[in-house]
Chains A and B, each alone.
Chain A
Amino acid sequence: EDQVTQSPEALRLQEGESSSLNCSYTVSGLRGLFWYRQDPGKGPEFLFTLYSAGEEKEKERLKATLTKKESFLHITAPKPEDSATYLCAVYNTDKLIFGTGTRLQVFP
């Protein structure tokens, strides 16, 4: 059965303190890994799609990387407005399977 595990569950960072979020996955043939941002009470907001090991995508302070077993979301010099829950999901047949997310808090 396909599974997605994210760590840590929660992360507190000082503004400017870079870090990485982890997403480990078990799938029978990866057909896409997705990163989303979710603010409280809102819908997931699409960030990145990765399809093959070695692929990297960047957007502002965020960079997503992919290996055969896991993906990392690197956040460089975060700001308070980066505070949110970051969700990882894998594509399976005709649906996304989500992890439980990492709740990121960035303090000024």
Chain B
Amino acid sequence: EPEVTQTPSHQVTQMGQEVILRCVPISNHLYFYWYRQILGQKVEFLVSFYNNEISEKSEIFDDQFSVERPDGSNFTLKIRSTKLEDSAMYFCASTLQGRGEQYFGPGTRLTVT
């Protein structure tokens, strides 16, 4: 059964450093998302991506964040200068249709020290 994959599973970085989180969505899906979940809190939307451009972004997704689909399979989230408050679990998701069920990856745990 196709699934969304994410790498790395755990990333530790120092404050101010750049990180890139990687995702491989399900191959025939067209809509891609990043969400994050701070420990003990709800899953929060960051950004949606369709047809090679951002379709919507949240207030969290400021100028320090960017997304890219560099080839036909990968979808990346870059944080340019990490802050302590960026520590969270980051989930990638994809769906075939905009209103359809979104399938989530296993997540990348980002720890900023």
Report which A residues bind B (CB closer than 8 A).
31-32, 34, 36, 41-46, 49, 87, 89, 91, 93-101
Contacts and interface: CB of A to CB of B under 8 A. Distances in A.
A94 B61 CA distance: 15
A3 to B, nearest CB: 11
A96 B45 contact: yes
B42 A98 contact: yes
A94 B104 contact: no
Contacts of A36: 104
Chain B interface size, under 10 / 10 to 19 / 20 to 34 / 35 or more: 20 to 34
Interface of B: 4, 31, 33, 35, 41-45, 48, 50, 55-56, 58, 89, 91, 98-107, 109
Contacts of A43: 4, 91, 104-107
Nearest to B4: A43
Given A43-B91, A43-B104, 15 more contacts: A32-B99, A34-B102, A36-B104, A42-B107, A43-B106, A43-B107, A45-B104, A46-B101, A94-B50, A94-B56, A94-B98, A95-B33, A95-B48, A97-B45, A98-B44
